Amino acid sequence: MGPWSRCLSILIYHRVLPQPDPLLPDEICAREFDWHLAVLGRWFRVLPLPDAVAALRDGTLPRGAACITFDDGYADNVSAALPLLRKYAMPATFFLATGYLAGGRMWNDTVIETVRRAPGRLLDARPAGLGVLDIGAPTERRAAVQRLLSALKYLPTEERERRANEFASSVGRDLPSALMMSADDVRELHRSGMQIGAHTVNHPILARLDAARALTEIEQSRARLEGITGSPIGLFAYPNGKPGTDYHRQHVDMVKRLGFDAALTTARGVARSSSDPFQLPRFTPWDRSPGKFLLRLIHNTMSAQAQTV
């Protein structure tokens, strides 16, 4: 069987858009997700994440094991992704930031949707801490989004929200309020056999919070999801998820003490039997053709093999 059989590829998605969006070049559309699943179905064995984690621990992971995960809780996960998951009879795990359910909007979407609706060629980004940005061309508008997100991401949670909202108010356009799932959407995922995981309440950078507040974010997220689904929540994903930058060892210890079964990061790689189950790596599928998508998955897996030899 070789080292391949001990490797677990965990894919991470955020959105599955109805159509490609020039302001969201890193997000796939439904057509692309369809062939992602077709490739996975042909070349990998897609498992429910709890089963894969258990098999990884006891050494029974099958050859070519893979899992599908989604972060944050976007409504298109239900409207666009779920029908395709059903089509291919594949499981997935959805990590939800509970503070944005039922009409909430994440700070980054406030920024993106404000830039999308901003009129003219110049955008006053001073409320967000930047100057005047050129948005006359689509590429410039996309670059403005990235500059704004980078400027705000690591601010304290309340300041980040405040600046994003002040920026939106300064442009004065109505923003969408149905980007995220409702509680009924979460129940539909659960009834469909999908797994639900906790992802904090407000999607903060845990490393920027004091310990008590970080613990509350994790605990309350799980409690809300258990209330919605009526089932235990044993999985957690760290917001933003970069080890040593977005969370620290104390947050890993919190997740353990709270009795979670496993936790996921955004560190790139493949999980092996020696991986910390509370810091499992994931893989972001960037490629826009089936061949390159498959080659990158194989390369990711083979890189993990090389590390075990």
The predicted-structure confidence for 246-297, as pLDDT tens digits, reads as follows 999 999 999 999 999 999 999 999 999 899 999 999 988 778 889 888 988 8
**In a shared domain, residues 210 and 115:** no
Identify the pLDDT of residue 5.
53
What is the pLDDT, as a whole number, of residue 2?
A: 41
Total number of domains in the chain: 2
CB 194 within 8 A of CB 233: no
Check whether residue 246 and residue 284 sit in a common domain.
yes
> Quick one: 149 and 204 in the same domain?
no
**SS3 state of residue 307:** helix
Task: Give 10-residue mean pLDDT values along the chain (309 residues).
Answer: 67 96 94 96 96 94 95 98 98 98 93 96 94 96 97 94 96 93 98 98 97 98 98 98 97 98 96 94 86 86 56
Co-location of 264 and 188 in the same domain:
yes
Considering the domain architecture, whether residues 77 and 187 belong to the same structural domain is answered as yes
Q: Considering Cα of 195, then 197, then 202, then 205, what sign does the dihedral take?
A: negative
| CB distance 167 to 148 below 8 Å | yes
- State whether the Cα torsion 155-279-261-61 is positive or negative: positive
Task: Tell me the CATH number at 259.
Answer: 3.20.20.370
The reported pLDDT for the residue numbered 3 is: 42
pLDDT of residue 306: 46
* pTM (two decimals): 0.94
Query: In what helix (H) or strand (E) does residue 193 lie, and over which residues does it extend?
Result: none
What 3-state DSSP class applies to 268?
A: strand
- Please tell me the predicted confidence (pLDDT) of residue 104: 87
Cα–Cα nearest to 219, from 248, 182, 260: 260
Domain match, 272 and 160 both: no
Last residue of a domain, one of 135, 154, 171: 171
- The tokens describing 199, both together, are 């992802």
Q: Are strands 122-124 and 132-134 parallel, antiparallel or unpaired?
A: antiparallel
Rounded-to-integer distance, Cα 151 and Cα 107, Å:
12
pLDDT computed for residue 297 by the predictor: 87
198 shares a domain with 262: yes
Q: Phi first, then psi: what are they for 122, rounded to 5°? A: -125, 140
> Are 98 and 242 in the same domain?
yes
Which range of residues forms the domain containing residue 144? 107-171
Which of 118, 140, 171 is a domain's end point? 171
